[in-house]
Copies of this chain bind each other. A is one copy, B any other.
């Protein structure tokens, strides 16, 4: 009686993980329009009818995938960014890397930006890293920021809008450096300094974000 529920629960979690992985793959490769429950249950090797014991709807599955993708992208970018000794470079790298996400993973990014409250999800995912970076820059005197909460929500919203702008073709995928330059100025850096840092070569991230 003790062991059975544990094993059943584990099996169920494994099946759920396979469904998530299948959906992530289809979303990244073909987009939301091509996501069919029958394909996913087949890929995940579970019965069609079992789907609804894992997710309430296809939309709920898509949302779960995106929460995972965002959290893992924020984690990968954020923890890599925090390795830079200069918080200005941390902020610049993170901003540019998120903009490049739109170019690297257009299908996933498109689904993400169409999600209800996607901007909030984006902000929540990157907030811990962003706040740490701003606090580090303020306490070292590198940044001169008037209101940290306002700066955090402004930069998060601006970065998210830039991702949407790249997807919509309103700005080019290479505007990341221009955006980082603008952000660093807003954080108090002198123009020449902001420009130089924002245009540094970007170190690679290990692995692809969507697979992280």
Q: How far is the CA of A157 from the CA of B164 in the complex (A)?
A: 11
Query: For the complex, is A149 an interface residue (Cβ under 8 Å from B)?
Result: yes
Q: Tell me the number of copies of this protein.
A: 2
Q: How far is the CA of A93 from the CA of B84 in the complex (A)?
A: 37
Q: How far is the CA of A92 from the CA of B41 in the complex (A)?
A: 54
Query: For the complex, is A175 an interface residue (Cβ under 8 Å from B)?
Result: yes
Chain A 130-158 per-residue mask, 1 if CB under 8 angstroms from chain B, else 0: 00000000000000111101110111111
| Stretch from A6-14, A57-65, A70-78, A184-192 forming part of the interface with B | A184-192
Chain A to chain B contacts (Cβ below 8 Å), 10 pairs? A146-B181, A149-B165, A150-B165, A150-B175, A150-B182, A154-B182, A156-B161, A182-B186, A185-B186, A185-B188
Interchain nearest-CB distance for A200 vs B (Å): 16
